[in-house]
Amino acid sequence: MKPPKVFQDKSMRRDIEAFLLGGSFAAVGVYHFIDQDFFEAIVPRWFPNPTFANLMSGAAEILLGLALIPKKSRRQAAWGLLILLVAVYPANIDMFVNDVGFETNEFGKTVRVEGTPDVRLRNFIRLPFQFLFAWLIWRHTKKAASS
């Protein structure tokens, strides 16, 4: 039994992958605005303005994620997303090195807690996943084969 045509056509698979990746980045970008406390708590303490970092990275995720979907802007969006992943990677390293966890304070705000027990493995697992996302995105920096 042959797989459905959608899985046989490389161009169609790339389009579906771009849609799923782009949509995922855009959705996470929206959450930067919905749950600002959480995303600001991820920003390393050494960064001078967590609100700016959160809103700019969220906006970039939305714009670049959506731009990854159409073929016309896909390559440029993929390069932009790769740059964004490199720019935010220090936050992932910071979370691992400082055992960053989160809790809700008495005002209902999500706050950063360093030295949290039992988060090291979770924060470590986040590190290689960024490379997986980068690889998936990098595949869209290449020119599509002409038909």
Q: Is residue 147 part of a domain?
A: no
Residue 6 has pLDDT above 90, yes or no: no
Tell me, what's the pLDDT at 147? 43
R_g over Cα of the chain: 18
Average pLDDT of span 27-46: 96
d(CA 139, CA 13): 12
Residue 146 falls within a domain, yes or no? no
Cα(91)–Cα(126) distance, rounded to whole angstroms?
11
3 state SS of 101: strand
Give the number of residues written for the chain: 147
Which residue range is the domain that position 125 belongs to? 5-140
pLDDT in tens, 66-98: 999 999 999 999 999 999 999 999 999 999 999
DSSP per-residue string spanning 67-100: HHSSHHHHHHHHHHHHHHHHHHHHHHHHHHHTT-
The pLDDT score that the predictor gives to residue 143 is 81
The total of structural domains in the chain comes to 1
Q: What is the pLDDT of residue 54?
A: 97
pLDDT value of position 7: 58
Average pLDDT, the chain: 93
Between helix 71-97 and helix 120-138 the angle, nearest 10°, is 160
